Structure 1
Amino acid sequence: MPLNKKQAFLPQIFIAFIAALFIIGCASVQKPMGGPRDRTPPKLLKATPENMTRNFTAKSVTLQFDEYFKLTNQYAEISISPAMERSPEYKIRQKSLVIDFKDTLHKNTTYVINFGKAIADVNEGNVLKNFTYVFSTGAHIDSLTVSGNVTNTDTQAKEKEATVMLFPLSQDSVMFGKKKPSIYTTTDSAGNFTLSNLHDGTYRIYALKETSPDKIYNNDQELIAFSKEPIHLNKDTSNISLRLFKQIPEKFRIVDKHFDTDGKMFFTFNKPLRDPSIKITYPPGIDETKYVDFGKTNDTAMVYLKNLDFDSVRVAFFDKQKPLDTIFLRKGKKETFTRNITFKYNIDNNQLLQPGKDLLITSNLPIDNFDPNLIALTEDSLQVNFTAQKDQNNPKLINLKYRFKQKANYQLTLNEYAFTDMYGDKNKKSFKRFTLNKTENYGTLTIKLNVPDTSKAYVAQILNSEKQLLKTVTFTKNTSVILKDYLTGKYKVRVIYDSNRNGIWDSGSVKKGTQPEHIWLYNKDINLRANWETEESVDIPSESTLP
């Protein structure tokens, strides 16, 4: 049957519709794929009024950038010097930032608006760091500068992205640690800083590596630095050296306390202790059954109690027998705990034991007793005799003695019920396979330390490439440190100038105005070669030459 005109036209309409979709799809703008990542922050194209304007009378400022941007933490990041009673209002309009002033500006005054890290592009978040807008309500713009660098005392590395702050001396005691500074900047990747457009006067300068972006030193975990003497600014001042350190809190405080799932009490202190001890003062009779395991830096403690039949416990803390604090910790009398005895060994990640060393078995729970008959050691699949004993000072540690041989394959089997912890729990069966490392993978390192002044005391610390502390020595005269049978690799030497002769590094105090003890890091890695005796002579510089 012949098609009418309308029916004959339908296929043509369909073909035209498909073609149109194809053309539109081809012409649509797609986001480019691949290519280098945008690492460029927004760039200022125009400021109205212009930056560095004199005789400023405007009520607002418009800053035009080359791309879309966002403001982050503007009221924490953006500061104005001198401070205004009423903060300006910040509005984003397309690619421009409009700043409306709510306060009347002082006459003949230089204003500096520091945007900190507030401005970043929308897509990649690239931050426009330390951007400032400066203007003066008079004919003169303040132009003095303060510059220098910031170093981390512990690592001796230049500290990037540390906040450097200036407080007028008259406001220092009122603002520092309480309010955000109005004059600040951020160090660059080399730890350098410059504060510009400053008015003459007397200032206190600080550096802060903070844990929160409020620019207020209010946390014991934050790093702080300060110059002991105020800066009398009447000309450009350079070469200011600031050393960041973690201040040791004056007052002892427990920042965490809880029962773990296995029943032990866990405590975290706000500072390390020199000679800590713990006593259970309630319930009576509990203290005699406890075992306390302090962390390596004496700022944590695990307390194991054999008798857990109580609702609450009272714990007293001491340092050098001096009482520090007493706390209560509650638990349900019928509360149950889950325990599983696990073990660690002095074997490296390659399952290698160091030649000449005993095999150390460390439990996660204090061991009450063990049965050597349920422990088996095989050498190339043949069972061998050994001796094992519990460490007198550490109930978690078992020392297994055997004359291990090169090229032999060993397997340690801890059969079920071999170990009984202080609660009466038994271990499950476990295995550990290992071999003896080659003696030629070890060497002897002798480090000769040459002191600049025999009237002063020093502490030398030897570290491996992972910055783990291996050995510490105290000395006042030229001395040698011998590391015998150490793994080949790179080693570092760090020296503490022990001004109070107590054998440890002492931090500083902002309140007392004391700086931390100087640390010097030998700038050369000492390479210990395999099966070799290496000797290195280290000349310690005079403390007066350090920044």
Structure 2
Amino acid sequence: MSLKSRHLFLAYFSSILLLAVAGCASMQRPQGGPRDRNPPKLLKATPENMTRRFNARQVIFEFDEYFKLANTYQEISVSPAFEKQPEYLTKGRNLVINFKDSLQKNTTYVINFGKAIADVHEGNVLKNFTYVFSTGDHIDSLSITGSVTNTETLEKEKDATVMLFPASQDSALFGKKKPNIFTTTDSSGNFSLNNLHTGTYTIYALKEAAPDKIYNSENEQIAFLKKPIKLESDVKDVNLTLFKQPAQKFRIASKKFDNDGKLDIIFNKRLTDPSIKILYPPALDNQKFVDFSKTKDTALVYFKNMEFDSVSVAILDQNKPLDTVYQRKGLKETFKRNLGLGYNINIDNHLRPYTDLELTANFPLENMDASKIKLLEDSIPVNPLNLIKNPANPKKYTLKHTWKQNAAYLLVISEEALTDIYGDKNKELNKRFTIDKIENYGTLTLKVTVPDTAIQYLVELVDSKKATIRTDIISKSTSVVYKNLFTGKYQVKVTYDDNRNGKADGGNVKAKIYPEKIWISDKVLTLRPNWDQEEAVAIPKEPATP
């Protein structure tokens, strides 16, 4: 082959190779890029934002991507409000607003879009987007800024709605009309209300599940300032503290017969000393068993005799009647039950050192046959078995024993050892466990100093999951001791119990009453294994009411 032919061959081969590589490359699937986390961006507004001497009947917004509108007439507000709602239309990447009402002279208008605008694919919301114009030569420019805090955690609250009402319209919060002036807190809990006119206003914050911006549920959190804001210049550092207002009137939230036959009643508020009385059939009252939740807002009512077609139940608190429940049931209705036990053993099958083994049945027990129950310690039976019935609760038994470290325990509940009030019996139940290591626990002593002996304090120790370990009521400087406490991180939470009733009282927004103040120590207490630890806790003077 000549030199020229060789060069031509190599060039031809290289071309074929490049085409093959390109062909292979084209067969690969495109790699996905990072997820789009950016909301739609405004490119242009016609007329422009902050326009003076505004006289248009239509506004057009052009965005950089396709978008969708959600809850248009709930999220978008105009201040001052129109009698006739504007028309909102989407045309490609444009949002068109057509005004159906005449504009007032020499007035600043603010259109707040709330969370109405989001991109099509990822749903990224364009938050707190506003459009401002004036029909006169002046645009209102006053502002109110601040933050929103959660009462329980004392942490800043994001995505809370901050609402402003003219003082003359303060009662609108409790109506069916959403506010015209509002904004949403950012990720740091801060807010800014802008382009405000001089005047006197009341301010609220609301944390709600449904985006209606109306305080209409006991489950919503509310915040307010007692004194109106007289706005003549910019107002800064407004601190609003959210709380969940206790229900003012007692009512039954739900009631039903469960599949196993117990009557499940849920209240809308926690009670102080609840009790249940069966009104009909009256014979059921003496053979019922009632199990109230720790929070005293739920009652489980068990009936030994299920041969009735309806029941009438009175709910009382501190022996005072609150309400009556009527619930129907099929006379011959059958129920499914699987009698079992729960234990005070953690998920690792460890029992806390120096504690008894607590056995809790899922139904009230008529009998527990101790002859059919065995406890094995390293495969050796423990005799005698010290099993004690709880006289106040037929669902609970206590097994006392001098537990040994490093021993393997097996609790055997033989078949038909348990009989519930319905005559049901258990299948064989086995529970293996060991005693947790002593070195996993320690003693924590809080040396608590109070600032004012005229005030009562509720001292709570909370773990890393914000669960309360224990609550102690004190009114003087003292030591609070926690023995056999699992090693980990803890914080101290204090409620200023001003009315000395032994509980943390919530506020009342209509009566302009704040909840009792809470202080959480900044210091995280780390309890080390097998350690006796002392910590000084100086409760600060109760912060001033805003």
Q: TM-score, normalised by structure 1?
A: 0.94
3-state DSSP of counterpart to 2:170: helix
Q: Give the aligned partner of residue 252 of structure 1.
A: 250
* Alpha-carbon distance, 1:33 to partner: 2.6
Which of 165, 186, 207 matches 1:167? 165
The DSSP-based 3-state class of the residue aligned with 1:62 is strand
Check 1:28–1:128 CA distance in 2 against 1; reply closer, same or farther (3 A cut): farther
Give distance in 2, aligned partners of 1:33 and 1:110.
Answer: 49
Structure 2 match to 1:340? 338
SS at structure 2 position matched to 1:286: helix
**In 2, Cα distance between the equivalents of 1:445 and 1:435?**
24
Distance in 2 separating the partners of 1:33 and 1:265: 57
Task: Select the residue among 78, 81, 85 that pairs with 1:80.
Answer: 78
Give per-residue Cα distances to partners, 1:88-141, cap 9 Å, x unaligned. 111111111111111111111111000001111112111110000000111111
User: What per-residue deviation string (whole Å, max 9, x for no partner) do you get for residues 236-278 of structure 1?
Assistant: 1111111111111111000100000111000111110011111
One-letter amino acid of the structure 2 residue matched with residue 424 of structure 1 = G
Q: Tell me the distance in 2 between the aligned counterparts of 1:26 and 1:133.
A: 52
Deviation at 1:520, TM superposition (A): 0.8
Is the Cα–Cα contact under 8 Å of residues 167 and 176 in structure 1 kept in the other structure?
Answer: no
After superposition, give the CA deviation of every residue in 1:392-446 in whole Å (9 maximum; x if it has no partner).
Answer: 1111111011111111111111101101111111011011000111111110000
The alpha carbon displacement at 1:365 in A equals 0.5
For 2:182, the equivalent position in structure 1 comes to: 184
Distance 1:29 1:356 in 2: 68
Question: Shift of residue 27 of structure 1?
Answer: 12
For structure 1, which runs of at least 5 residues remain unmatched after alignment?
Answer: 1-21
Alignment of 1:518-533 (within 5 A): 518-533=517-532
2:39 to 18, 35, 41: 41
Q: Say if 2:353 is the partner of 1:365.
A: no
Instruction: Please state if 1:113 is matched with 2:111.
Output: yes
Flag the 1:315–1:544 CA change in 2: closer, same or farther, 3 A.
Answer: same
Aligned-partner SS, 1:241: strand
Alpha-carbon contact 2:114-2:183 (below 8 Å) kept: yes
CA shift for structure 1 position 173? 1.6
Equivalent residue for 2:145? 147
1:90 matched to which residue of 2? 88
RMSD: 1.8
1:32-431 maps to which residues of 2 (within 5 A)? 32-385=30-383, 386-431=385-430
Is 2:173–2:214's contact at 8 Å kept on the other side of the alignment?
Answer: no
Structure 1 position 463 matched with structure 2 position 468 = no
Letter in 2 for 1:406: Q
Is the Cα contact below 8 Å between 1:160 and 1:187 reproduced in 2? yes
SS of aligned partner of 1:173: helix
1:31 deviates by 8.9
Distance in 2 of aligned mates of 1:161 and 1:436 = 46
Paired residue for 2:500? 501
Q: 2:505 is matched by which residue type in structure 1?
A: D
Number of residue-to-residue matches in the alignment: 526
Identity of aligned residues (%): 60
- Code of the aligned partner of 1:236: D
Cα distance in 1 between the residues matched to 2:224 and 2:27: 54
Aligned equivalents of 2:504, 2:247: Cα separation in 1: 15
Residue deviations 1:192-244 (CA, integer Å, cap 9, x gap):
11100111111111100012011111111010111111111111111111111
Question: Which residue does the alignment assign to 2:8?
Answer: none
2:119 and 2:28 mapped to 1: Cα distance? Answer: 20
Q: Larger deviation: 318-327 or 257-266?
A: 318-327
Distance 2:456 2:299 in 1: 31
Cα distance, 1:30 vs structure 2: 10
Q: Measure, in 1, the Cα distance between the counterparts of 2:218 and 2:116.
A: 25
- TM-superposed CA distance for 1:157, in Å, is 1.2
